[in-house]
Amino acid sequence: MNNKKENSVPPVRVLYATAGSAYGFGWDRMKKFFLDLFLITVIVGVVYIPLGMMTSLDGRGTVGGAILSIFGFAYWLLLLDPIDYGSAFVFLKAVRGDKFEVKDIFLPFENIERYLNVVLAEILKSAIIGIGIFLLVVPGIIFACKLAFVKYLVLDRNMGPVDAVKESWNMTKGYTVDIFLIGLIAIPLGIAGLICLGVGIIPVIMWVRSAFASMYYAVSKVEEEKAG
C-alpha cells in the first residue's frame, strides 16, 4: 500500500526579503534556468575581456596610456554597463519565472531613451558611491547597498536615473544589512569558485546575481502587499 504519491510535486521555496532566503531562492532559480543563465554570464564575461586588455596595456604617464584610459572608460560606460544592466534584468526575469531570451541582455540598446537612462543612472550611482568612498570608505559601502536596486528599476519600471536612485534609496530602507550580507557572502563564494580551477567562478557569479535579483523581487513583493 502506497501512502505517498510517487510523482509528488516538490514544495516551492518561499521567498523572504533576507540574505539567506535570497541565496536559497536564487539557487533554485539558477538550477532551473542553468544553461540560459550560464550562456548569459559567459557572454558578459567575454565582453569584459577587451577592458581587461586595455587595463593591462595602460602605460601610466604616457599619451598612449591616457588614450587607453579614456577609451577604456568609454567602453565601460557606453557598452559594458548597458549589457550589465540588461543581464541583471534577465536574471530578474528568471527569478520571477518570466519568459526571457538570451538576447534580452541587449535590451538597453533597443531604445535610445532607455539606453540614456541606463548610462545616466550608472553615472549618478557611481558618483554617489564614489563620494561615499571618499568619505572614509564606510559611507561608500552603505551608499552601494542603498543603490543596489537602481539597475533593476531602470529596466523593470522604466525609471529615469534620478527616480531610480530615489526609489532604490527608499526601497532598501530596512534591508541594507541583508543587501550587505549578500555582497559579503559573495566574497568567500568567489574565492571557492577560483580555487576550483577558476571554472567554478561562473556558477558563483550566476548564484550571486540570482540572489541580488531575488532580494529585489522579495522587497518589491513586500511593497505590493503594503500598497494592496
The tens digit of pLDDT for each residue in 94-142 reads: 999 999 999 999 999 999 999 999 999 999 999 999 999 998 889 999 9
Question: What single DSSP character describes residue 173?
Answer: T
pLDDT value at 214 more than 60: yes
Mean pLDDT across the chain, nearest whole number? 90
Q: Check residue 59 and give its pLDDT.
A: 53
Q: Check residue 160 and give its pLDDT.
A: 97
103: helix, coil or strand? helix
Amino acid at 170: N
Separation of alpha carbons 58 and 75, rounded Å = 14
Other C-beta atoms lying within 10 Å of the C-beta of residue 85: 25
Q: What is the mean pLDDT of residues 78-90?
A: 96
Between 189 and 72, the more confident residue is: 189
Share of the chain above pLDDT 70, in %: 90
The tens digit of pLDDT for each residue in 169-203 reads: 999 999 999 999 999 999 999 999 999 877 799 99
Q: What is the mean pLDDT of residues 158-173?
A: 97
Band of pLDDT at residue 161, cut at 50, 70 and 90: very high
What angle is formed at CA 129 by the lines to CA 57 and CA 108, rounded to 5 degrees?
70
Q: Check residue 63 and give its pLDDT.
A: 54
Separation of alpha carbons 22 and 213, rounded Å = 8
Share of the chain above pLDDT 90, in %: 76
Helix ranges restricted to H, the chain? 19-32, 34-57, 63-75, 81-96, 112-134, 138-146, 150-156, 161-171, 176-195, 201-227
pLDDT value at 58 more than 90: no
Q: Check residue 46 and give its pLDDT.
A: 94
The structural domains of the chain, with segments of one domain joined by +, span 19-219
Band of pLDDT at residue 60, cut at 50, 70 and 90: low
CA distances from 121 to 2, 87, 94, 166, 223 (A): 58, 16, 23, 11, 22
Between 71 and 114, the more confident residue is: 114
pLDDT value at 224 more than 50: yes
197: helix, coil or strand? coil
